[in-house]
Amino acid sequence: MSEALENLIRSIPDFPKKGILFRDITPALADPSAFGEICRILANRLNNKGIDKIAGIESRGFIFGSAVSYITGKGFIPLRKPGKLPWKTYMEKYSLEYGEAALEMHIDAVSSGERVAIIDDLLATGGTAAAAARLIEKAGGEVAELDFLIELEELNGRNNLEGHEIFSIMRF
């Protein structure tokens, strides 16, 4: 990963609330070269791993996941907030530091035995990613790996994803 790419991640103190250091990826998204590099790194990770589909977690996981899906020629699975998908879904709830949230996926998004890579922009506590993995497994799929642009190491999100291969382009 290039230093230039890391320099495009903006740190914003006290957002969305006091004491949080927010990692803003929008400068990297605005730079076509950086965006391309991120997507190529993620896509190259999946070469020769027998991946059948790419799942992206709403919302920024859609940005990278759909591009990686296109690059690799694999189908894309949107993992969405409740009530956003128009057909029958599986739902998986998870805890946040301030309450509960959930993700949904169409029940026919994954076939039994399919290997799925899950992509999101950020690994923090791991709760969202763990819920995404449970959704894939609930449908009979296998989580091949979880890939992130950024990992916030001090939050120990990997601990909530034991048993899964995890890759992060950048760690803070």
Catalytic: 60? yes
Pairing mode, if any, of strands 142-151 and 166-171? parallel
The residue annotated as part of the active site, out of 6, 23, 58, 60, is: 60
Q: Count the alpha carbons within 13 Å of 8 in the hemisphere toward its beta carbon.
A: 19
Catalytic: 142? no
Whether 148 contacts 119, CB under 8 Å: yes
Q: Which residue in this structure is represented by tokens 């805890």?
A: 95
Whether 49 contacts 145, CB under 8 Å: yes
Q: How many angstroms separate the CA atoms of 139 and 113, rounded? A: 9
The residue annotated as part of the active site, out of 97, 100, 154, 162, is: 97
- Phi and psi based region of residue 77 (left: phi greater than 0; alpha: psi -120 to 50; beta: remaining): beta
Which residues are known catalytic residues? 60, 97
